[in-house]
Structure 1
Amino acid sequence: MIGPVLVCLVAVVGFGLGIWKTRLVASSQGVFAAISAGIAAMFDPALSDDEKEASIRRTGLDLIKKTGGLALRLILSLLAAAVPIYLADWLGLVPLEASMDMMLSWEFIVIVSVVAIAVGSILSRLLGGKKEAEPSEGYSAGDQMVHTLAFASPGLMRRLAASDDSLFSSKVAGVKPAGPIFITSLARGGTTALLNALHDLPNVATHRYADMPFLTAPLLWSKLGGNRSVARRERAHGDGMEIDLESPEAFDEVLWRLYWPEKYNGNKIALWRPGDIKEKARDVMRRHMSKIILLRKGDKAAGGDVHYVSKNNANIARLTVIPEMFPGAEVIVPLRHPVTHAASLLRQHENFLTRHAEDPFSRRYMNDIGHLEFGELMRPIAFEGFAPGGREPTSPDYWLAYWIAAFREIRQNGEGCHLVAQDDLRSNPQGTMDALCDRIGLDHGGVDFTKYFRPGADLGDSSVYSSELLAEAQALYEELNARAVRASVPVEA
């Protein structure tokens, strides 16, 4: 009995060495990546038919090469396992049948699997200094392929939404949502910190990263993909904020883009005006909000006091339609000083230019979810009066001019918006958030808001901007800052 066990153990070790030496796992990831790249090219609206054909042809050749390499590596690994079994039979030490019976017995499979996991864990700790490269956007090659399929076409996304409606219609009909809350500003204005702060309140429901990638069918996807596990990591902005599947995020831009594609033509995003409201699309979005409330709050969704919260920077372009589309809605606008805000916008644009050039899937991911603020994807909102004046997006004055145009839109069409100064959130987070919650009717009893906002002054270098633009931005900031929600009792200095 000892003979077959030893032979089979040697065969397992041989197979493991074959996998390691041939880099079989890395090769399989390459095959998944090639398939994902081909699917992405097929459905990429930015490519012409000729470019798609050329890209798919290159991908096909690459896939043939990588699949052949994978097959060869697998054969070599299996040969490494077979050699000791056949050698023992040829030498007359252990018959082939005895070795195969042992190899296929469930006891041997279980014991070897447990030992392999334990050894792998020990080796991982001993060699912990050598880490694998981070997957793009936290996605493995297989995840990237699923993502690409989920965003393959607008028609598919609409059909998924309709299927979700049909499967869960009775449950969704029972949801009684309170007025939705929209957090919006230019990117880097503090919207994520506000979202995180409100996310922990008991009567709030938001999108989470777990809703990716089948965003238009959140209830169905929660049943199919609910057992996933993704390690907590820093988000792509490189700003120290960590995320995992339970973290809140902004995903409803996917719906705006799906039902108003004409607003995204050209190299800018057009403004929404009252005549742009589409009743069918509005109803889809209302049902979607109810689904997220149902998904997050379950039985509590029928109580009528749960608010869907959206953090979407592009909603600045929709200030004139949000009140009519969503009666009872509240709009919160974080207000950051233009000197530091414009500087942060420029840094992120440069960050994503590099990231998109180095990581094609990151570019695809950000495009699919409608985050078009930075990098190769940058598509500014066509605010009235925004004229870069020949300035490039790599210029500080470009972003300061964009800040002015954006907050002019808020001044003109955001009469009912609740402005919240970032300086106040830094100096008195608890008092400012309590005052905001009181203003919009949110229960905030006992919640500690201080952990969500960075303390200290938000300082920047004003010398990099033209004096004319800086004076205009400063005057606009002071005007809007005077309207900001503030604590009734200011914090002591």
Structure 2
Amino acid sequence: MIVAALLLGLAAFIAVLRILRAERVARRVASTAQTALRVMSDPDKSDDEKEREVRRASVTLLGLFLAIAGIGVAALGATAAVVWGGAQAGLYSLDAAIAVASSWPFLIGSTVGAVVLWLALDRLGRNKPAPEAGKADKDMSDRDEVPYGPMEQALHNFAFASPARQKRLGALETRLYRGRIDPARAHRPVFVTSLPRAGTTIMLNALAGLPEFASATYRHMPFTLSPLLWSRIGPVFQQSAATAERAHGDGLEVSGDSPEAFEEMLWMAFFPRHYREDRILTWDAGELEPEFAEYFRTHMAKVVATKPGARRYLSKNNANIARLPLIESICPDAAVLIPVRDPRAHVASLMRQHARFLDLHAREPFGRRYMEGVGHFEFGAALRPIAFREGAPGPQAATGPDFWLRYWIDAYEHVLATAGRGAVFLDHDAFCAAPQAHLPQLARAIGAEDPAELAALAPMFRAPRPAPVLDGADPQLLARADALHDTLCRRALGAEAAPIAKEATA
């Protein structure tokens, strides 16, 4: 009887937490703390500005602390009322109930049970029948686009709040799993990079399906710098690997095992000075730091160790076009695949995604925190353009085709000026129109172990649609973009894209 009463009290405790929405308050605490940390490390803000914003955050945190304390008192009061009521009814004595509640078996069992119950309620809430109409439809759509429950969101907020903490956890993992980390698996990596919407995701998905390549996956979120350690702990907190369309609304489906672009979190942890409030600065080879190079190569080997049989690292990171010389300095044996898309189709796609994520971020703040936490600053309220040139406009100017055309031109002029010998340019439109002809060339360029396996992926690619008309675009910008596109395509999988030898270099 005592155990039954205590379990009923535990259920009352959880019920009060959920009714009073404790998880929402906890998310606000994490979000406010994350914002304050970001402000404190922002080199563009003066000390006075930092002091004012941190002071405001402190007041907000105080209010949230009082709210959490009140919710906690209410939850404990509900539990106490249940247990006290049983004692008053003569079912047991309070001393006996306290003795059972403070015993190790009950403490461990009730903790595990509470976590399981909380996760079960989260899943039950996500699996409710879809509402028929009105605002409920909009709310359900938001949950589908940001498929994380309250506990998972709180965990992500905690992980995103401190890149330095992620870095330290990765270093701890290196010591714990040293026997599984083979430095040779950091040789001959393949980096897929370009502006977003250039065809980088389809290339990542194609190569990640080959046995020799391993890439970061959604299973590694949110502690992406500790893929081996988190693969042991993460399943307790993560959802099942159900397949669903990703938030881009582009028809690509993802699951927990899908490859994704999470490498940027490593760069954020080591180079915070490059991430300004409204832009991201480019890198050069002179910024090579031995500590980072060693950490990066070790991280690559860890990712490869997460996939049985894999021998090479694969990543997709759109921001890597801002640091091509540095990547070549760290990994001189790397192949860097750079898909290039028709500028009209590319700009139209960039504009659609920016509008889509502006809407999503306005409806679901966690969507913005998620993108910023993993280093996706490409769209929506999270947009921070890479400053490929001095005086480039900031995110506030991203209101029409001319902004994106200029950004396209700046990006690929920078790529042409900085790409090294390992760069492999891909004409995305020609590649997708005739994959059977291009895949053997790609296999040679990246030193694929089995070219036939790569050639068999031809059905993944679909011929592109005709390029749209960019209404209102500056004709001179269009002409510049077309000329630059021609120059890039003349380098695509041609003589200048030197194949990467299959033997690992020192």
TM-score (norm 1): 0.78
Q: Residues 375-434 of structure 1: CA distance to partner in whole angstroms, max 9, x if unpaired? A: 233222222477459992112111111111111122223253212222124322344334
What are the within-5 Å matches in structure 2 for residues 429-444 of structure 1?
429-442=435-448, 443-444=450-451
Report the residue type matching 1:204 in the other structure.
F
Number of the residue aligned with 1:52: 54
CA positional deviation for 1:337: 0.5
Take 2:151 and 2:25, find their aligned partners in 1: how far apart are those partners? 9
2:333 is aligned with 1:328: yes
Alignment-derived partner of residue 129 in structure 1: 130
CA–CA separation in structure 1 for the residues paired with 2:209 and 2:290? 32
Structure 1 range deviating more: 35-44 or 204-213:
35-44
Q: Indicate conservation of the 8 Å contact 2:186/2:298, yes or no.
A: no
CA distance in 2, matches of 1:61, 1:385: 42
C-alpha spacing 1:279/1:427, structure 2 compared with 1 (3 Å): same
Q: Which residues in structure 2 correspond to 1:130-209 (within 5 Å)?
A: 130=131, 133=140, 134=143, 137-173=146-182, 175-209=184-218
CA apart distance, 1:471: 0.9
What SS does the corresponding residue of 1:296 show, helix, strand or coil? coil
Amino acid in structure 1 at the alignment position of 2:439: M
- Picking from 468, 474, 481, the partner of 2:476 is 468
Q: For 1:68 and 1:26, how far apart are their aligned partners in 2?
A: 10
Aligned to 1:355: 360
**Which residue of structure 1 aligns with residue 289 of structure 2?**
278
Q: Secondary structure at the match of 1:332?
A: strand
After alignment, is 461-470 or 127-136 more displaced?
Answer: 127-136
Counterpart CA distance in 1 for 2:188 and 2:127 is 54
Indicate the larger mover: 22-31 or 162-171.
22-31
Secondary structure, in 3 states, of the residue corresponding to 1:170? helix
Residues of 1 paired with 2:273 and 2:10: CA distance?
56
- What amino acid does structure 1 have at the position aligned with 2:461? F
Aligned to 2:230: 221
More deviation in 325-334 or 273-282? 273-282
Name 1:236's counterpart in structure 2. Answer: 247
Instruction: Give the letter aligned to residue 201 of structure 1.
Output: L
CA contact (8 A) 2:279 2:384 kept: yes
Q: 1:59 to 1:421 in 2, by over 3 A?
A: same
Contact 2:261-2:316 within 8 A present in 1 as well = yes
CA contact (8 A) 2:185 2:304 kept: no
Answer yes or no: is 1:449 the counterpart of 2:450. Answer: no
Residue equivalent to 1:61 = 63
CA-to-partner distance for each residue in 1:38-62, whole Å, 9 max, x for gaps? Answer: 4324423358233233223224324
Question: AA paired with 1:165?
Answer: T
Which residue number corresponds to residue 489 of structure 1? Answer: none
Q: Which amino acid aligns with 1:410?
A: V
Give the TM-score, by structure 2 length.
Answer: 0.77
In 2: Cα distance, 1:474 partner to 1:157 partner: 42
CA distance change for structure 1 residues 65 and 385 in 2, over 3 Å: closer, same or farther?
closer
Distance 1:51 1:96 in 2: 55
Change (3 A) 1:17 1:258: closer
1:371 aligns with one of 372, 376, 380: 376
Contact in 2 for aligned 1:335/1:422 (Cα 8 Å): yes
Q: Secondary structure at the match of 1:215?
A: coil
Contact 1:36 1:144 in 2 (8 A): no
Residues 274, 321 of structure 1: 8 Å contact kept:
yes
- Residue in structure 1 matched with residue 103 of structure 2 by the alignment: none
Per-residue CA distance 1:59-99 (angstroms, 9 max, x = gap): 4324433553565477569879998x899x7xxxxx846xx
Distance 1:273 1:396, change over 3 A: same
- Name the SS of the counterpart of 1:331 in structure 2: strand
Contact 1:18–1:80 (CA under 8 A) maintained in structure 2? no
1:325 Cα offset (Å): 1.4
Which stretch has the larger CA shift, 323-332 or 349-358? 349-358
* Residue 491 (structure 1) aligns with: none
For 2:26 and 2:144, locate their aligned partners in 1 and report how far apart those are by CA, in whole Å. Answer: 13
Task: Indicate yes or no: 2:21 matched with 1:27.
Answer: yes
Residues in 2 aligned to 1:389 and 1:178: alpha-carbon distance in whole angstroms: 37
- Secondary structure in structure 2 of the residue aligned to 1:472: helix
Stretches of structure 1 lacking an aligned partner (at least 5 in a row): 90-94, 487-493
Letter in 2 for 1:468: Q
Task: Look at both structures and tell me which one has the larger radius of gyration over its CA atoms.
Answer: 1
Partners of 1:456 and 1:413 in 2: CA distance: 28
Verify the 8 A CA contact 1:268 1:379 in the aligned structure 2.
yes
Deviations 1:324-376 (A, max 9, x none): 21021101111110011112112222222333333332222222222122223
Partner amino acid for 1:370?
G
State the shift of 1:456 in Å: 4.2
Please give the per-residue CA displacement for 1:233-275, whole angstroms capped at 9, x wherever unaligned: 3323232322222111111212222222232346332222222
Higher deviation after alignment, 210-219 or 445-454: 445-454
Q: Secondary structure at the match of 1:321?
A: helix
Closer, same or farther: CA 179–96 of 1 in aligned 2, 3 Å:
same
CA distance in 1 between counterparts of 2:213 and 2:71 reads 51
Asked if 1 retains the 8 angstrom alpha-carbon contact of 2:34 and 2:162, the reply is: no
Distance (Å, rounded) in 2 between the aligned partners of 1:234 and 1:390: 27
Distance (Å, rounded) in 1 between the aligned partners of 2:266 and 2:125 = 43
Question: Which deviates the most, 255-264 or 223-232?
Answer: 223-232
C-alpha deviation, 1:466, in angstroms: 1.0
> Per-residue deviation at 1:187?
0.9
Q: What's 1:292 paired with?
A: 303
Letter in 2 for 1:252: E
Moved more, 306-315 or 196-205: 306-315
Tell me, in whole angstroms, the C-alpha distance in 2 between the residues paired with 1:425 and 1:257: 32
Bigger shift: residues 174-183 or 128-137: 128-137
The whole-number CA distance in structure 2 between the counterparts of 1:51 and 1:136 is 31
